[in-house]
Amino acid sequence: MFHITNFSEYEKAYKQSVEEPEVFWKEIASYFQWNKPFTKVLNWNFNEPKIEWFIDGKLNITENCIDRHLPSKKNAIAFYFEPNEANGVRISVTYQKLYEEVCKLANCLKSTGVESGDRVCIYLPMIPEAVYAMLACARIGAAHSVVFGGFSAQALKDRINDSACKVVLTSDGAYRGNKQIPMKATVDEALVDCPSIEKVLVYKRTNQAITLKAGRDLDWETEVNKQAAVCAPTYVDSEHPLFILYTSGSTGKPKGVLHTTGGYMVYTAYSFKNVFQYNENDIYWCTADVGWITGHSYITYGPLLNGATSLVFEGVPTYPDAGRFWKIVDTYNVTHFYTAPTAIRALEAAGLDFVKPYNLSSLKVLGSVGEPINEEAWHWYNTNIGKNNCPIVDTWWQTETGGILISPLAGITKTKPSYATLPLPGVQPMLVDDKGNEIIGNNVEGNLCIKFPWPSIIRTTYGDHERCRQTYFASYTNLYFTGDGCKRDENGYYRITGRVDDVINVSGHRIGTAEVESAINMHEAIVESAVVGYTHDIKGQGIYAYCIVTGDYANEETLKKEILETVTKHIGAIAKPDKIQLVKGLPKTRSGKIMRRILRKVAENDFSNLGDTSTLLDPTVVEEIKKGRV
Ligand code: 7RM
C-alpha cells in the first residue's frame, strides 16, 4: 500500500519492508508507469558496492511526473512561482504548461546535440526554468548536474570538468534580495577551461549586460520557441543515470553523487507522500534551492510524482523583511512548509513582530531539514508558526541517500523535539562503535549506519567508484556509513547529533574542512591552515580558520580580507570563514598529524581537557593559540 494513514499501518509496512523487502517494494513500484516491467526487484552487495533496483525495467521519470497526471490534472497547478520582488511577475504553471515547457526545452537540448547518457550542467537561479531544465534532461535521458548559483567560477569549472558536461543551462543574472548577481559572467569565466562544453543556453532573467560568444552561446527563449511542444519520452533502463550532484566530504574535492532513475523515482515519491501526508488541494512549499539535494527530491521530483501543487520561491527569507516567508504562507494558503533550522533561528532572532501580521491558519504540517534542529528552535517553530497545531517532521537524510530516511510521518508518528524519530519503511538503521560492533538496545549512542539498501541509495561517485566504496562502504563491512553520530532513546527514537568526520554544516550547507583549507592555502602568504567548525547561534556551525602566515603581508586586517576573497574565489561565499586566527604553528603530533580536537575546543572557547599536549611536536603553540583566540 502506497499511502500510510495511521501508526499501525506504518508498523505493518515497516515489518514487511524488513521481512520481505522485494515483495514490499514491488508493490510500491506498481503505482508507477513503466514502459517495460522490471523482472527482478533488487540485486545488491555493499562490498563493491553494486546496487540495482527494479532490474530490466524501462521508464521515463518525467512521464511519471507529468504525462501520467494530464488526463485528470491538465489544468491543475503543478507549481506557483513567487519572484524575489514581492511585486514581480507571479506565474502559475499548470501540469499542461509544465508538459509543454519541458517538451520544448527537451527538443531544444536535442537540437544542440545532447543525447541520452550525456551530462548537462544547470547553473540557474530559483526560477521555473530550473525545474524545466532538470525535467528536460530527464525527458531525453541526459543526466543533469545542477550547480548551486552561489558557487564560484572555479567551483563551477571543477564540476563541469569532472563529469564532462556537454551543455550549460544558465541565466544572465539572478535576483537575490536587494542584490543582482551575475551568472553568465561566472559561466564565461569557468568555460575558459572547460573543453567538453559545446553550447550554452542563456535565459534572460535580469536583463543585465552580458556577452554572448558566437557559435557557443544561444538565447534560451529564441531557441525554445522554435521547438515543438511535444517530445516523446526517451525510455531508459531503471539503473540509467538520472543526475549527478556534487557534495563535500572529509577529504579532497567534492564528489559527484550519482543517482539512477527507477529507484530514485519510487523512493522520493513514496517518502514525499508519507512523510508530509500531502493530500489533494494542499499547497506544499519547500524553501530549499534546487542546487541542493532537498531541491531535487522535494521541490522537483517528489511533489511532481505525486501530482502535487507546490510553490517555487526565488527570494530569500529576509527580503524585503523577515516576514517574507509568513507573508507568502498567508498569500498562497500554504499547508505544508519545509525549511531549514538555520532559517528558523534567523527568523526567530528577528522577532515576533514579523510573524504577527500574517494569518498562518492554513498550515497543517511543518518540516525541518539540513542539520540538527535544537530544542529551542523546535519550540519556537511549533508555538509561533504551527500554533501548537502542526506536526513537525524533522527529516534526516543526505545527498547520498536521495530521500528522507529517518523522520516522523506527519500526524502519525508522535514527535519529540530534536528527534528525527523512526526510520521509514525500507530503512534499517544500525548504530556501531568505532570498531564496527553493533550497539544494541536502547538509550545508546554510536555511528549511524544503514544495513540494507533502499531504492534511492547512491550508486557511485561519478568517475571514481573506488572513492564511493572507500567513503561509504569500507568503514564497516557490509554497512553503508552515513558519517553522522546518532543517539537512540528509550523508545527506539533516533536523534542525529551531527557529523563525526571533517565535514561541517554551515546553515545546512555541507562544507569539507579540507576544501576550505586548500582554498585558503592558495593565498601566497599562507603556507598551511586548519579549519574547524564551532557552535554558531544562527548558522548551526560557523567556520574557524587557523592560518600559518609566512609570506609578507601589509597588515592583519588586509590579509584577513584577502583570505576571505580567496575562499570566495575558489569555492564561493558560503565557505567564507567566520573567524580567522593567524598563528605561528599548529598543534601537531610527532608524525605531523594536526590535533583538530584541540583546535575545535579552542574555537568553542573551551580550554578544559585539552589532553596531554606534552607529546606534541611543539607544545608551546597551544598556549599561543589559546591566547590569540578570536
Ligand atoms: C538533506 C541534506 C547531509 C547531512 C547529514 C547530517 C545533516 C540533514 C538532518 C541532519 C540532523 C536532520 N543533505 N542533516 N538533515 N542532521 N537532523 N534532520 O541536508 O547532503 O546536504 O547534508 O546534513 O549531518 O549527514 S546534505
Q: What is the pLDDT of residues 212-239, one digit of tens each?
A: 999 999 999 999 999 999 999 999 999 9
Average pLDDT, the chain: 96
Q: What is the pLDDT of residues 42-85, one digit of tens each?
A: 999 999 999 999 999 999 999 999 999 999 999 999 999 999 99
**Residue 184: is its pLDDT beyond 70?**
yes
Q: How far is the CA of 505 from the centre of ligand 1 (A)?
A: 8
Residue having the nearest C-alpha atom to atom 8 of ligand 1: 370
- Using alpha carbons, select from 147, 125, 150 the residue that is nearest to residue 205: 125
Q: What is the pLDDT of residues 357-374, one digit of tens each?
A: 999 999 999 999 999 999
Q: How far is the CA of 233 from the centre of ligand 1 (A)?
A: 33
The string of DSSP codes covering 195-229 is TT--EEEEE-SS-------TTTEEEHHHHHHTS-S
Alpha carbon separation from 516 to 34, 228, 579 (Å, rounded) = 44, 46, 13
Name the residue of 267, 286, 396 to mutate for ligand 1: max ligand atoms within 8 A of Cβ.
396
What percent of the chain has pLDDT above 90?
A: 93
Q: What is the pLDDT of residues 371-403, one digit of tens each?
A: 999 999 999 999 999 999 999 999 999 999 999
Q: Which amino acid is located at 310 in the chain?
A: S
Identify the band that residue 187 occupies on the pLDDT scale cut at 50, 70 and 90.
very high
What pairs with residue 123 in β-bridges?
A: 170
Q: How far is the CA of 91 from the centre of ligand 1 (A)?
A: 31
> Quick one: pLDDT at residue 589?
79
Q: What is the pLDDT of residues 262-275, one digit of tens each?
A: 999 999 999 999 99
Tell me the three-class secondary structure of 557-603, residue by residue.
HHHHHHHHHHHHHHCEHHHCCCEEEEECCCCECCCCCECHHHHHHHH
CATH topology of domain 507-627: GMP Synthetase; Chain A, domain 3 (3.30.300)
Segment 112-125 mean pLDDT = 98
- DSSP 8-state secondary structure symbol assigned to residue 407: -
**Residue 475: is its pLDDT beyond 90?**
yes
The rounded distance, in Å, linking the Cα atoms of 145 and 123 is 9
pTM: 0.94
Chain region(s) in the chain for CATH 3.30.300.30: 507-627
Q: How far is the CA of 370 from the centre of ligand 1 (A)?
A: 4
Q: How far is the CA of 85 from the centre of ligand 1 (A)?
A: 30
Q: How far is the CA of 558 from the centre of ligand 1 (A)?
A: 35
Segment 250-259 mean pLDDT = 87
Name the residue of 496, 497, 499 to mutate for ligand 1: max ligand atoms within 8 A of Cβ.
496
Segment 13-30 mean pLDDT = 98
**Residue 551: is its pLDDT beyond 80?**
no
Segment 410-422 mean pLDDT = 98
Identify the band that residue 553 occupies on the pLDDT scale cut at 50, 70 and 90.
confident
Give the residues surrounding ligand 1 with Cβ less than 6 Å away: 247, 292-294, 368-372, 394-399, 420, 482-484, 496, 498-499, 505, 508, 510
* 439, burial (CB in 10 Å: exposed 0-12, middle 13-18, buried 19+): middle
> Quick one: pLDDT at residue 252?
65
**Residue 608: is its pLDDT beyond 90?**
no
The rounded distance, in Å, linking the Cα atoms of 609 and 178 is 46
The rounded distance, in Å, linking the Cα atoms of 407 and 159 is 31
Name the residue of 245, 247, 257, 369 to mutate for ligand 1: max ligand atoms within 8 A of Cβ.
369
Cell representation of residue 414:
508522535
Q: How far is the CA of 335 from the centre of ligand 1 (A)?
A: 24
Other Cβ atoms within 10 Å of 70 Cβ, number: 16
**CATH number of this structure's domain 7-316+391-486:** 3.40.50.12780
Residue having the nearest C-alpha atom to atom 3 of ligand 1: 398
> Quick one: pLDDT at residue 527?
85
Chain region(s) in the chain for CATH 3.40.50.12780: 7-316+391-486
Q: How far is the CA of 124 from the centre of ligand 1 (A)?
A: 23
- What does R_g of the chain's alpha carbons equal in angstroms? 24
What percent of the chain has pLDDT above 70?
A: 100
Ligand 1 atom at minimum distance from 509 CA = 21
Q: What is the pLDDT of residues 579-602, one digit of tens each?
A: 999 999 999 877 777 888 899 999
Alpha carbon separation from 135 to 106, 198, 241, 242 (Å, rounded) = 8, 20, 13, 10
